[in-house]
Amino acid sequence: MKIPEFKNEDEEREFWESHDSTEFIDWKQAERVTLSNLKPSVKKISIRLPQSMIEELKLLANKRANKRDVPYQSLLKIFLAERIKKELGA
C-alpha cells in the first residue's frame, strides 16, 4: 500500500492512530541512522568527588577558558567522553 499524502500534521497523526505502519513500510528494509544534530537527552546524577579534585577541575576549566568557554562540569563531561571512547577503542 502507498502512504497517502496529508494536508497537515493533524491529518497525518489521525491517520497513523488508526493504521499500522507495517501495512505501508517494509521495516526489514529499514536502515539504522544516527541523528547527530539532535541534542542528547541527559540524566542528572550525584557523584561524590574529593574537594581537591573539584578545585583542580575548576583550575583546568579556567585555564581552558581562552580556548573553550566551559564550566568545570562541562569539562568533566568532556574528560569522561574522551576516556570512554579510549576504553571502548572507538
Q: Are 77 and 57 part of one and the same domain?
A: yes
Q: Are 85 and 57 part of one and the same domain?
A: yes
Q: Are 55 and 90 part of one and the same domain?
A: yes
pTM for this entry? 0.51
Question: Does residue 21 have a pLDDT over 60?
Answer: yes
- The pLDDT value given to residue 18: 93
The conformational region for residue 89 under phi > 0 = left, psi -120 to 50 = alpha, else beta, is left
Q: pLDDT, tens digit, for every residue of 41-55?
A: 888 999 999 999 999
Domain range for 21 is 1-31
Determine the length of the chain: 90
- The pLDDT value given to residue 32: 85
CB 78 within 8 A of CB 70: yes
> How many domains would you assign to the chain?
2
Q: In 3-state terms, what secondary structure has residue 82?
A: helix
- The pLDDT value given to residue 65: 54
Question: Does residue 7 have a pLDDT over 90?
Answer: yes
